[in-house]
Structure 1
Amino acid sequence: MPESMDAARWRPYLTAWALLVLAVCGLYAHTLLGMAGIWARSETYAHGFVVPLISAWLVWRLRAEVRVLTPRPAPLAWLLMAGAAALWLAGDLVAVNAATQLAFVSLLVLTVPAVMGWAVARRLMFPLGFLFFAVPIGDFMLPRLMEWTADFTVLALRASGVPVYREGLQFVIPSGTWSVVEACSGIRYLIASVTVGCLFAHLSYQGWKKKLLFVGVSIAVPLVANWLRAYMIVMLGHLSGNELATGVDHLIYGWLFFGVVIALMLFIGARWADAPAPGTTAPRRLTLPPATTASPAWRGAVVALLIALLPHAAVKAIALSNLTAPVSLASVAPQAPWAGAATPPSDWVPAFANASAQVHQGYTGPEGQRVGVHLHYYRQQDYERKLVSSENMLVRHNDATWARAQAGTAQAQWPGAQLPVASATLRRTSGGLTTSGTERLLAWRWYWVDDRFTASDAAAKLLGAWGRVRGWGDDGAIVVVYTPLDPQLTEAQAQERAQATLRAFVQANGAALQDSLRRTRAGH
């Protein structure tokens, strides 16, 4: 067919698709603007601004191959869009940005087969898949990456003959104290390297083995490079008497080092690049008259739009069950043999943001044990105030007063059952890392959501979504119990005694704690 007939055949589908994309972006504007806001304020995800432009350029390169295909709506894509819409709904109910943003991009990608069919979507598979790099996701890897960086740095320092005392993410060498923070995790280097690596592999290699191998290299190289960067920065500071590689300098040196490493990786990868594929025979054109009727295109777009509308209607209906009254947090009455204390055992406060109400109480045990309880209660949750968030933690990494020395799990003896809890040892940093007698606390943390307790972030999110769907509402709380570690005992003895104290407290007061949360929800 002449190119003019191709254009006539494609015009209704492209028009319907473009209007559908605009409608989806309008319906999910909050999610789209949330993504753009993260791109603007975070160097880690700033590449999100150029990802759509790169995808558009990749599609433009394939325009001649796509033009000769026959567009036709794919009903299976509508079903997949329904799944993406359900994911967005679940994520929005518990304010999980990663879920809503992944679902939004999935909806955008699925508009292509929903209106133009799988043949077109398969030919544009990589450009469409590349759009997912615009989703600002990856912060969940921060704790693990920081631990790996600290592990390697301490190991390399000791191998270099430098004595190291480590506690958590902080360590001391003869020339000073160092700490592994978010900027040292290497998450920025990793995400940038994988994004560039996938694009380079797609443009440079024909076979899947080469592509997957290079993507694997683009994952391994920034990890190892970041570990070496951290080690070299500490050594530069140590050998220069902390004149070099301190403050902002070490970030600048880090980016220069990373830039050289990535450039070298791409230079080596280019040596094995495949020659451009010879021109292939274009797909056979149909001899049938061009389908100028617009009904299939608009039918696909309308069905997809209705699917995209469904989760917003569901959110409006579910919101009717949410409680809106101000929160009056009921106190937890001590249960024998425990008694209330005039003041809590410490002034430490966990870094839980934007709670609707919070309380800090102290208790004493029959043998003089001291226990503190933090309750942070959440109601009318949204993306700024939410129960489970990466911003909610016992101690922030940049806290000037407290640091997390250890983290793990423990088993609390709940009345009639075992309750897994998140456990952490906290240390006051004002006295120095190795100063004896520094205040130390053992803290247990768990969530109350849908009238159940869990220490798992994922389980709390799922229970929160289920609670809203079944009419419970969005009320929830973070519970933290803690006790001081005895400085007169060895670390092992102090930990054992503190564990026993918290177990005894929870066993005696667990039912009263749950009753307090229930009365708070009921407004008593």
Structure 2
Amino acid sequence: MNQALPMPSATATDQGWRLALPAIVLTLLIIVVLFRDTALAMADIWLRSDTYAHGFIVPPISLWLIWRMRASLAALAPRHSYSAIVLFAAAGFAWLLGQLAAVNVVSQFALVTMLVLAVPTVLGWQFARRIAFPLLFLFFAVPFGDFAMPTLMDWTAHFTILGLRASGIPVHAEGLRFVIPSGSWSVVEACSGVRYLIASVTVGTLFAYLTYRSLTRRLVFVGVSFVVPVVANWLRAYMIVMIGHLSGNKLAGGVDHLIYGWVFFGIVILAMFWIGARWREDELDQGVPAPAVQASTAVPTTTVPSLLAAVCTVLVGGGYVFALWQIEHRLAPEVSQIVPLGPISGWQASAAPTDEWQPKYQDYAARTQATFEKDGRTVGLFIAFYRNQDHQHKMVSSTNVLLHSDDPLWVRVGSGTREMVFDNRDLRVRTAVLSGPLSTRMAVWQWYWVDGRWTASDPLAKIYTALSRLGGRGDDSAVIVLHAVEQRPGDSDAVLEDFARTAGPAIESALRQTMGAR
């Protein structure tokens, strides 16, 4: 004989919510206050970047989605979950690593994750599962997506060039720049279409959730919202170049260039939603009633554990903030110059000019730039040293690059990686080929030094920086760039490898001595 389980009374559930609701609201507010620097950094990006301005409306949309479900949510008995605190602590540690490595996006994703996990901590996993989409939608508030910009720019340039050639227009292309009979064009950041992609995916995901009930249809529409803006941006770029070409460059230049782009994108997105709405799935049209809210099968106990879970959540978050404060107050003395390089066997310092091209690195603590010569070949060396990095002054960032896409003299026409032996160890370096004035071609190699470790990977450089700071060794780092003008296609790689192998010990020694000057 089965024994019926006791059902919570409405009075017991209401009593639980009287304390649980203020507890979760207060917990979320305290988390935002504790991590206010990260939250304000997100808001600052929303304010100054049109690409991420939608971040202002993401939290209100999430709250509205939860409000729509208030009747079914009220029938659930709030229950704390200490297991969620473990996940909350992991998210807090990720936030700490993001702060130590000065990676904004990691810290911001970690903050949103902590806000999301605070809900099951105080109210329970059953409640969190019921509002899973509104909680996950909060991640669209994180300014994320710039990493895709170079790839999207390459795709846009390739498609535009293919379209022009298919239209019978001769094209001479070098990297992201191309010349047609009516003039020259260049694909820059604004042409990448990343803002179209982010806007489409954000709105498309919300549309899919509100319009469909089937998980398959939702996923398909979200996938379409990824593909459509990318293809639409290719067509937009091709159309703008064609309009400029056919009008003698009287149209599709300046402000109307952007206006045409947004108008075309708006038409495409509206068409996508209009077509998607034809397969909408309203609850009343599915032929079956909506599933009834299944009440909890256990009588809610005292709310003291929920309040204790809320207190534990706040204490864990506060612990990470205090840990960061402790680490950030261990600042090393400022460094003004890099220790001079020792002798490099076979290579002589040259008086040749070093300003024909310079890497676009800034906010460094010290810099060395020199030219060396051997057997009639010249190699340029650039080293930028970083210490006491933060979110405004850091080595690895989107603004520290070899070359800006809008550089008036130089253009990147190739890139890749190369294995070499440096300072008696294997190292993979990043390579690039630049084209400059008078058809000059330059080979460029670049990699990082972080706390005695060598890498050409941006993520690894960030990880090494965070681990070094956690270990109390500071964040001393440097970027090393070698460059040489090509006399014959591909001949500069051998010259750069010879110099790197020979100069490795001298560069290593100079950086270690600079790090030791505290």
Q: Which deviates the most, 188-197 or 333-342? A: 333-342
State whether residues 334 and 340 of structure 1, in contact with CA within 8 Å, keep that contact through their aligned partners in structure 2: no
Among candidates 494, 517, 523, match of residue 489 of structure 2:
494
Among candidates 409, 414, 425, match of residue 406 of structure 1:
414
Q: 1:284 to 1:465 in 2, by over 3 A?
A: closer
Correspondence for 2:346: 337
AA partner of residue 489 (structure 2): A
Cα distance, 1:18 vs structure 2:
1.1
In the alignment, the residues of structure 1 paired with residue 133 and residue 172 of structure 2 have an alpha-carbon distance, to the nearest angstrom, of: 48
Correspondence for 1:250: 257
Q: Any idea what SS the aligned residue of 2:439 has?
A: coil
Correspondence for 2:230: 223
Cα distance, 1:282 vs structure 2:
3.2
Correspondence for 1:516: 510
TM-score (norm. length: structure 1):
0.93
TM-score (norm. length: structure 2):
0.94
In the alignment, the residues of structure 1 paired with residue 195 and residue 93 of structure 2 have an alpha-carbon distance, to the nearest angstrom, of: 30
Q: Any idea what SS the aligned residue of 1:166 has?
A: strand
- What number of residue pairs does the alignment pair up? 507
Correspondence for 1:72: 79
Is structure 2 residue 430 aligned with structure 1 residue 425?
A: no
State whether residues 345 and 370 of structure 1, in contact with CA within 8 Å, keep that contact through their aligned partners in structure 2: no
Q: Any idea what SS the aligned residue of 1:494 has?
A: coil
In the alignment, the residues of structure 1 paired with residue 104 and residue 469 of structure 2 have an alpha-carbon distance, to the nearest angstrom, of: 17
Cα distance, 1:300 vs structure 2:
1.0
Cα distance, 1:286 vs structure 2:
6.5
Correspondence for 1:504: 498
Cα distance, 1:2 vs structure 2:
7.8
Per-residue Cα deviation, 1:444-478 (whole angstroms, up to 9, x for no partner): 11000021111010111111111112222111001
Is structure 2 residue 243 aligned with structure 1 residue 236?
A: yes
Among candidates 118, 122, 144, match of residue 151 of structure 2:
144
CA RMSD in angstroms comes to 1.7
Correspondence for 1:212: 219
Q: Which deviates the most, 277-286 or 412-421? A: 277-286
Cα distance, 1:284 vs structure 2:
3.6
Correspondence for 2:37: 30
Per-residue Cα deviation, 1:37-76 (whole angstroms, up to 9, x for no partner): 0001111110000000100100000001110101111111
Is structure 2 residue 105 aligned with structure 1 residue 98?
A: yes
In the alignment, the residues of structure 2 paired with residue 80 and residue 345 of structure 1 have an alpha-carbon distance, to the nearest angstrom, of: 51
Q: 1:120 to 1:400 in 2, by over 3 A?
A: same
Q: Any idea what SS the aligned residue of 1:349 has?
A: coil
Is structure 2 residue 465 aligned with structure 1 residue 471?
A: no
Per-residue Cα deviation, 1:84-142 (whole angstroms, up to 9, x for no partner): 00110111101001100000000001110010000100000000010000000001101
Q: Which deviates the most, 16-25 or 317-326? A: 317-326
Matches within 5 A, 1:351-370: 351-365=360-374, 367-370=375-378
In the alignment, the residues of structure 2 paired with residue 209 and residue 273 of structure 1 have an alpha-carbon distance, to the nearest angstrom, of: 12
In the alignment, the residues of structure 1 paired with residue 408 and residue 163 of structure 2 have an alpha-carbon distance, to the nearest angstrom, of: 27
Q: Any idea what SS the aligned residue of 2:279 has?
A: coil
Cα distance, 1:276 vs structure 2:
2.3
Q: 1:5 to 1:165 in 2, by over 3 A?
A: same
Per-residue Cα deviation, 1:120-169 (whole angstroms, up to 9, x for no partner): 00000000010000000001101111111111111111111111111111
Per-residue Cα deviation, 1:343-388 (whole angstroms, up to 9, x for no partner): 44443221112111112111111x1111111111100100000111
Unmatched 5+ stretches in structure 1: 432-436, 487-492
State whether residues 321 and 472 of structure 1, in contact with CA within 8 Å, keep that contact through their aligned partners in structure 2: no
In the alignment, the residues of structure 2 paired with residue 514 and residue 100 of structure 1 have an alpha-carbon distance, to the nearest angstrom, of: 32
Cα distance, 1:217 vs structure 2:
0.7
Correspondence for 1:434: none
Among candidates 9, 31, 44, match of residue 16 of structure 2:
9
In the alignment, the residues of structure 2 paired with residue 83 and residue 9 of structure 1 have an alpha-carbon distance, to the nearest angstrom, of: 28
Matches within 5 A, 1:174-213: 174-213=181-220
Cα distance, 1:297 vs structure 2:
2.1
In the alignment, the residues of structure 2 paired with residue 178 and residue 519 of structure 1 have an alpha-carbon distance, to the nearest angstrom, of: 47
Q: 1:344 to 1:371 in 2, by over 3 A?
A: farther
In the alignment, the residues of structure 1 paired with residue 177 and residue 303 of structure 2 have an alpha-carbon distance, to the nearest angstrom, of: 65
Unmatched 5+ stretches in structure 2: 1-7
Correspondence for 2:49: 42
Cα distance, 1:6 vs structure 2:
4.1
Q: Any idea what SS the aligned residue of 1:73 has?
A: coil
Correspondence for 2:4: none
Cα distance, 1:254 vs structure 2:
0.5
Cα distance, 1:3 vs structure 2:
6.1
